């Protein structure tokens, strides 16, 4: 675990995991493997109004600190965005949001983005 992740995880732990939890009556619920082979399992809950993500929360099962940091960044990054903007988000956005490059966040961001993108596509298909 890199030092940046541990620092950020401790900071989030002190301040509280503001994005962790479940949204009752979410418009979108998605889950998937958070980081291949690690056992991380990420659940996303989204509330969408007029094509915008007005709220997003996550839950993790068996997640390591890097997945928690990645999930917090993901929620902060996409809240308020149009669902049409989601495909434009990439791995670089996570490092930019974090303020530094972290290989572990990059590795965790790929499956997290896949889960989010799949959820948005399913949402679009059903509206």
Residue 37 has a pLDDT of: 64
Residue 53 has a pLDDT of: 98
Number of other residues whose CB lies within 10 A of the CB of residue 114: 14
Residue 127 has a pLDDT of: 79
Residue 33 has a pLDDT of: 85
The set of residues, in sequence order, having a beta carbon less than 8 Å from that of 72 and lying 6+ positions away, is: 12, 17, 18, 19, 20
Among the listed ranges 30-34, 47-51, 119-123, which one has the minimum average pLDDT value? 30-34
Residue 116 has a pLDDT of: 96
pLDDT at 104 over 70: yes
pTM for the model stands at 0.91
């Amino acid at each position: 675990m890199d030092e940046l992740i541990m620092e950020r995880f401790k900071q989030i732990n002190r301040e509280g995991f503001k994005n962790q939890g479940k949204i009752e009556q979410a418009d979108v619920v998605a889950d998937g493997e958070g980081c291949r082979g690690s056992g991380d399992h990420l659940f996303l809950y989204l509330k969408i109004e007029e094509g915008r993500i007005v709220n997003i929360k996550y839950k993790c099962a068996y997640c390591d600190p890097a997945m928690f940091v990645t999930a917090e960044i993901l929620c902060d990054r996409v809240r308020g965005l149009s669902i049409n903007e989601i495909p434009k988000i990439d791995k670089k956005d996570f490092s930019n949001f974090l303020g530094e490059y972290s290989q572990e966040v990059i590795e965790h961001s790929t499956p997290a983005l896949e889960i989010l993108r799949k959820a948005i596509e399913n949402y679009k298909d059903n509206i």
